[in-house]
Amino acid sequence: MHFDVAHFFEAPPAALRPFVKMHGLGNHFVIFDRRTDRRAFRNADIVRICDARIGVGGDQLLTIEPPSPEGIAGGAYARMRIFNIDGREVSACGNATRCVAHLLFRENGGSALVLETGAGMLNCRRTGSLEVSVELGPIGWNWRDFPLAREVDMRNLPVRSGPLQNGTALWIGNPHAVFFVDSLAEVDLARHAAPIHDDPLFPEGVNVGVAELVDAGTIRLAVWERPGIATRACGTGACVAAFAARQKGLSASDRFNVHLPGGRLTVELQGTMAVMSGPVATCCAGVVEAEPVADFE
Ligand SMILES: N[C@H](CCC[C@H](N)C(=O)O)C(=O)O
């Protein structure tokens, strides 16, 4: 059989876009390099590509872009844009940052770089052949950042759902609501977290973290991510869960092992910054059909 990938598509070669798919603890991403091919993606293509049944499958679609003038001034090697499975662009994703930094380390042979994202210039470090750390933050709790429909007590959110109550709202480039529970095993994530995500208090949705403090330095965490999916891991969610444990006075530790359904991330808190570390892996690479669309910014 003729195994030239382009051969399997009816579409003209110009409609085929090369991608690499990576994951960090099963939080999976379809990644495109827009430095070499400036064409953009339609919303409908993003939705299909992220759907494993009819596309590639991913929790987000990522594009690697040339840095903006501000990025260049900040020493960024490249810029990353992040699109949720509904096609909406969001500003932060911890595991995606680690995966893209790994690709860029392979490209330039380095072991430290600055990646420009909607959450700012992020310092990334290679800490092993398949291990990357990223410094995320500053973590904040300004209600206007989220945005919230009205000003509320960010450390004691006026929303509850089943065992989820007394939540904390934290911003780390994207919005999170973190709820500590006695036992994560007793939480039905889709049933209990979805009503929080959908609450009118969060007009743009919110990533809902459900955390159990196992001991002063260990958290079990599950995250119901915008726009309403249970991911295997959430890097920004791990950082804000650790920060919330400290802010709530539940732990005085500044180092946390955060156990997610897909595995373990470590989070080291440095004031309002969080250094999040963990493994990355490459799943596959190939081409996928996407309607050619002119450049946009
Ligand atoms: N999984 C990602 C978060 C994606 C955030 C996205 N779902 C949002 O709408 O903010 C992480 O590792 O941080």
103-134 per-residue burial string, b: 16 or more CB within 10 A, e: under 16: bbbeeeeeeebbbbbebbbbbbbbbeeeebbb
- Over residues 226-234, the mean pLDDT reads 98
Closest CA to ligand 1's atom 5: 93
What is the mean predicted confidence (pLDDT) over 138-153? Answer: 94
Q: Given pLDDT bands bounded at 50, 70 and 90, which one contains residue 240?
A: very high
235 among the known binding-site residues? yes
The verdict on whether residue 17 carries a ligand-binding annotation is no
Atom nearest to 234 CA in ligand 1: 12
Are 102 and 153 found together in one domain? no
Report the nearest-CA residue for atom 4 of ligand 1. Answer: 93
pLDDT value, residue 1 = 58
Q: Which atom of ligand 1 is the closest one to the Cα of 235?
A: 12
Same domain, 252 and 131: no
In this predicted structure, the answer to whether residue 7 has a pLDDT above a threshold of 90 is: no
Q: Which of 99, 176, 177, 92 is nearest to 131 (CA)?
A: 99
| Residue 92, pLDDT above cutoff 70 | yes
Q: Considering the domain boundaries, does residue 295 fall inside one?
A: no
Mark whether 130 and 154 lie in a shared domain: no
Averaged pLDDT, 152-158: 97
Q: How many whole angstroms separate alpha carbon 37 and alpha carbon 231? A: 29
**Count of Cβ atoms closer than 10 Å to residue 13 Cβ:** 8
Residue 71 Cα to ligand 1 midpoint, Å, equals: 21
User: Any known ligand binding at 98?
Assistant: no
Same domain, 128 and 158: no
Residue 160 has pLDDT above 60, yes or no: yes
Task: Decide if pLDDT at 232 tops 70.
Answer: yes
Whether 220 and 107 map to the same domain: the answer is: no
CA 229 to ligand 1: nearest atom: 7
CA distances from 133 to 39, 100, 128, 173 (A): 30, 12, 9, 17
How much distance in Å is there from the Cα of 196 to the middle of ligand 1?
16
Share of the chain above pLDDT 70, in %: 99
Pocket of ligand 1 (CB under 6 A): 27, 84, 90, 93-95, 174, 207, 225-226, 231, 234-237
Q: What is the pLDDT of residue 35?
A: 97
Assess whether 165 and 107 both reside in one domain. no
207 is in an annotated binding site: yes
71 belongs to an annotated ligand binding site: no
Backbone angles phi, psi at 94, to 5 degrees: -65, -50
Instruction: Give the integer Cα–Cα distance in Å for 128 and 59.
Output: 25
Is there a domain that residue 297 lies in? no
**pTM of the predicted structure, to 2 decimals:** 0.97
Residues 174 and 66: their CA atoms lie apart, in Å, by: 22
Give the per-residue pLDDT at 247: 97
Residue range 51-71: mean pLDDT, rounded: 98
pLDDT at 295 over 80: no
Q: Does pLDDT of 261 surpass 60?
A: yes
Of 50, 93, 99, 239, catalytic: 93
294 within domain boundaries: no
pLDDT band at 293 (very low <50, low <70, confident <90, very high): confident
Are 62 and 173 found together in one domain? no
Q: Average per-residue pLDDT in the chain? A: 96
14 with 109, same domain: the answer is yes
What CATH number is given to the structural domain containing 204?
3.10.310.10
Please indicate, yes or no, whether residues 197 and 245 belong to a single structural domain of this protein.
yes
Note if 234 is an active site residue. yes
Contacting residues for 293 by C-beta, under 8 A, at least 6 apart:
39, 40, 41, 42
Stretch among 5-14, 179-188, 228-237, 241-250 having the lowest mean pLDDT: 5-14
pLDDT 10s digits, 162-194: 999 999 999 999 999 999 999 999 999 999 999
Tell me whether residue 18 is in a domain: yes
Residue in 236, 239, 240, 264 to alter for ligand 1 test, most ligand atoms within 8 A of Cβ: 236
Give the pLDDT confidence score for residue 2 in this predicted structure. 62
Inside any domain, residue 114: yes
Average pLDDT over residues 63-76: 98
**225, 229, 239, 265: which to mutate for ligand 1, most atoms within 8 A of CB?**
225
> Within a domain: residue 40?
yes
Q: Whose CA is nearest to atom 9 of ligand 1?
A: 226
Give the per-residue pLDDT at 297.
53
CA 3 to ligand 1 centroid distance, Å: 36
| Domain assignment of residue 296, yes or no | no
Pick from 6-10, 29-33, 181-185: least confident: 6-10
For residue 167, being part of any structural domain is answered with yes
Using the mean position of ligand 1's atoms as its centre, give its distance from the Cα of residue 234 in Å: 6
Give 97's pLDDT tier (boundaries 50, 70, 90).
Answer: very high
Q: Which tens digit of pLDDT belongs to each residue from 100-145? A: 999 999 999 999 999 999 999 999 999 999 999 999 999 999 999 8
Of 50, 99, 124, 234, which one is the catalytic site residue?
234
DSSP secondary structure string for all residues of 232-285:
S--HHHHHHHHHHHHHTTS---SEEEEEETTEEEEEEEETTEEEEEEE-EEEEE
If one counts the domains in the chain, the total is 2
Q: Which domain holds residue 235?
A: 143-271
Indicate the pairing of strand 218-225 with strand 255-260.
parallel
The answer to whether 215 and 235 are in contact (CB under 8 A) is no
* Confidence check: pLDDT of 296 > 70: no
Query: Are 120 and 157 part of one and the same domain?
Result: no
Predicted confidence at residue 5, as pLDDT, reads 84
Looking at the structure, do residues 108 and 19 belong to the same domain, yes or no? yes
Q: Is the domain of 115 the same as that of 57?
A: yes
